[in-house]
């Protein structure tokens, strides 16, 4: 792993590889995203004859609970590092997709929704967004934008892809295909190319040369002292205002996306 990183870094700052892999991770969060799950809802309705209200209520509860529990993934990332957690979450998401191919009741569907939202939409979005800033400083915003292309491609491609798989092979097989893709494509990618931070491999952020006149331990201590602790951040108004504002688009887009696809599919069948 270290040899690969150092070899690539001679020609291209390895942070850009991290940004691309993070984009793939964001794309792989698709099985847990609303634009992906909503394609399966009509199939569930036909198979189990559940009402839109029942299924959407289960989805809302699963999304809310998964969001509240996401703090534990954040703590785990801080403790174990991005690479290990990306592997763990990737395995769990693959198993989740496989599990969803066997759901046969509203209880199983609800639990499937929860796991998809927790490991897919939640964790697989949090992980790359926490990883990229470890590798960038001056170009951090641009690097995050590069990785964000993964989300864009997921939004553009996955709904049509899911619809084709469901129409061609059935909803059970569609879930199993997602499980195989995550296990055989994404997990090896993480093993081969993901690194937690440049310092682990003797590199500096964005290959910035070290100043021999500055003691690095003193510099890191100064940065730590200037940063907010969790308690300090929670006590600021800015934190809560920014958090509340960021919630609003997600709430509306989730509801609209979920019901838009479902309602339109029902009209086609009538």
Q: What is the CATH number of domain 2-207?
A: 1.20.1250.20
Q: What's the pLDDT tens digit per position in 42-62?
A: 889 888 988 888 998 999 999
Contact status, residue 225 vs residue 232, Cβ threshold 8 Å: no
Please report the pLDDT score of residue 270 as a whole number: 42
Please report the pLDDT score of residue 146 as a whole number: 94
Contact status, residue 33 vs residue 117, Cβ threshold 8 Å: no
Which stretches within the chain are classed as H helix?
2-9, 15-27, 34-48, 52-80, 82-100, 106-115, 124-135, 140-169, 171-181, 187-193, 216-226, 230-234, 237-269
Please report the pLDDT score of residue 239 as a whole number: 76
Which two structure tokens, joined as six digits, stand for 27? 């794309």
Query: Residues of the chain whose pLDDT is less than 70?
Result: 210-227, 247-270
Contact status, residue 26 vs residue 154, Cβ threshold 8 Å: yes
Contact status, residue 85 vs residue 127, Cβ threshold 8 Å: yes
Contact status, residue 186 vs residue 28, Cβ threshold 8 Å: yes
- How far apart CA 102 and CA 171 sit, in angstroms, is 10
Nearest to 90 by CA among 117, 66, 67, 124: 124
Domain ranges of the chain: 2-207
């Amino acid at each position: 792993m270290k040899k690969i990183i150092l070899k690539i870094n001679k020609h291209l700052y390895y942070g850009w590889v991290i940004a691309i892999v993070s984009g793939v991770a964001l794309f792989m969060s698709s099985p847990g995203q609303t634009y992906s799950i909503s394609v399966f809802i009509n199939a569930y309705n036909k198979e189990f004859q559940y009402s839109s209200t029942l299924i959407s209520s289960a989805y809302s509860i699963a999304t809310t609970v998964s969001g509240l529990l996401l703090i534990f993934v954040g703590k785990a990332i801080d403790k174990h590092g991005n690479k290990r957690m990306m592997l763990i979450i990737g395995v769990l998401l693959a198993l989740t997709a496989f599990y969803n191919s066997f759901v046969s009741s509203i209880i199983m569907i609800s639990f499937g929704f929860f796991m998809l939202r927790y490991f897919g939409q939640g964790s697989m979005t949090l992980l790359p967004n926490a990883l990229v800033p470890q590798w960038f400083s001056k170009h951090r915003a641009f690097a995050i934008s590069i990785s964000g292309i993964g989300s864009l491609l997921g939004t553009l491609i996955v709904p049509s892809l899911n619809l084709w798989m469901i129409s061609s092979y059935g909803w059970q097989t569609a879930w199993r295909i997602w499980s195989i893709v995550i296990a055989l494509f994404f997990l090896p990618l993480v093993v081969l190319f993901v690194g937690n931070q440049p310092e682990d491999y003797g590199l500096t952020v964005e290959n910035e040369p070290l100043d021999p006149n500055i003691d690095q331990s003193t510099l890191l201590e100064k940065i730590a002292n200037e940063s907010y602790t969790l308690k300090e951040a929670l006590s600021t108004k800015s934190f809560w205002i920014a958090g509340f504002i960021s919630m609003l688009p997600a709430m509306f887009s989730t509801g609209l996306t979920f019901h838009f696809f479902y309602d339109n599919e029902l009209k086609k069948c009538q």
